[in-house]
Homo-oligomer: A and B are copies of this chain.
Amino acid sequence: MLSNKVKYALKAMLHLAREHGKGPVLIADLAEKEGIPKKFLELILLELRNHGLLQSKKGKGGGYSLSMNPDLITMGQIIRLIEGPLAPLPCVSQTRYERCSDCVDEAACGLRMIMKEVRDATARILDGANLKDLLERVERTHAAPEVAMFHI
Residues of A within 8 A of B (CB): 1-2, 7, 10-11, 14, 34-36, 75, 84-85, 87-90, 100-104, 107-111, 113-115, 117-118, 121-122, 124-126, 129, 134-135, 137-138, 141-142
Contacts and interface: CB of A to CB of B under 8 A. Distances in A.
A90 B4 CA distance: 11
Given A11-B111, A107-B141, 20 more contacts: A1-B85, A1-B88, A1-B89, A7-B111, A11-B102, A34-B102, A35-B101, A36-B102, A75-B114, A107-B142, A108-B138, A108-B141, A108-B142, A110-B138, A113-B134, A113-B138, A114-B125, A114-B129, A118-B125, A121-B124
Contacts of A84: 1
B137 A113 contact: yes
Q: Main SS of the interface on chain A?
A: helix
Contacts of A113: 134, 137-138, 141
B125 A117 contact: yes
A135 B111 CA distance: 10
Given A102-B34, A102-B36, A118 B122 contact: yes
